[in-house]
A and B are shown apart, each in its own frame.
Chain A
């Protein structure tokens, strides 16, 4: 069932039990993850500029992966993920 009120209520009640300390620790952890992602994005941006990749919409930036010749490592990772990304 989609958005069963009972499920939502139970989840909200469990979320209320999360302490501020726990939330703070989680936020710090996610921030660290985003910082790593931002660094990776910067690297992608440099490659994009270098290879004159351009897109008109931000939308396409979201999906942009590194090009094949420059990023063997990244592509191997993608290869492992083939079949999992919609």
Chain B
């Protein structure tokens, strides 16, 4: 494990690759899809970047590998975790922030309201903090340069509900709040690895291999 660098994969339209490499990323605003607030989004695992090419960039249910490589590209970024502040909310230390706010909400709001907020996950709490940052002109999450979190959906793991079934397959996302934390970016070259991932995605989605 590299103690200094965190790798992030960003899938996008092939037309954007050059400008990203030359001029950097454009920060996205907080929205439904940008659940960790404003920032530049990456997947920690290449699998999800390839999948995002299919469902997020070309927006097709069934994709052809050759078409995908013509229309989409993946930028791999080296994120400096040694010199920049990283908040990983999937670890207990990072989760403590959410736990604190949830505790306050539980103590002061109805069970119904608390459960509603719980159902919205990290995104709701992040929105509260972003609102308060603007309102109070203070930095809460913005004091961190990078936020990592596990997206609460399991892509290929079959739920069994069996006791002891703790094997997990998670999707970790990285939201870079401070672009300076991006040390290096380069275009990922399509290879047998990406083709293998593509075929695995198709298999997981019940489609034939390419």
- Where the two chains meet, the residues of A that have a C-beta atom closer than 8 Å to any C-beta of B are 1-5, 7-8, 10-12, 14-16, 18, 20, 22-23, 25-27, 29-30, 33-34, 37, 40-41, 55-60, 62-63, 65, 67, 81-86
Let me know if A2 and B86 touch, CB within 8 A. Answer: yes
Contacts of B11 in A (CB 8 A): 86
Name the contact of B28 in the complex, choosing from A16, A18, A62, A84 (C-beta under 8 A). A84
Give the distance in Å from the alpha carbon of A40 to the alpha carbon of B42 in the complex: 25
Known interface pairs A2-B88, A62-B153; A15-B9 also in contact (CB < 8 Å): no
| Stretch of B62-70, B92-100, B191-199 lying at the A interface | B92-100
Give the distance in Å from the alpha carbon of A7 to the alpha carbon of B143 in the complex: 9
Interface status of B25 (Cβ within 8 A of chain A): yes
Known interface pairs A7-B144, A15-B100; A83-B16 also in contact (CB < 8 Å): yes
Let me know if B87 and A3 touch, CB within 8 A. Answer: yes
Chain A min CB distance to B28 (Å): 4
Give the distance in Å from the alpha carbon of A69 to the alpha carbon of B34 in the complex: 24
Chain B min CB distance to A16 (Å): 8
Interface status of B111 (Cβ within 8 A of chain A): no
Let me know if A11 and B59 touch, CB within 8 A. Answer: no
Chain B min CB distance to A36 (Å): 10
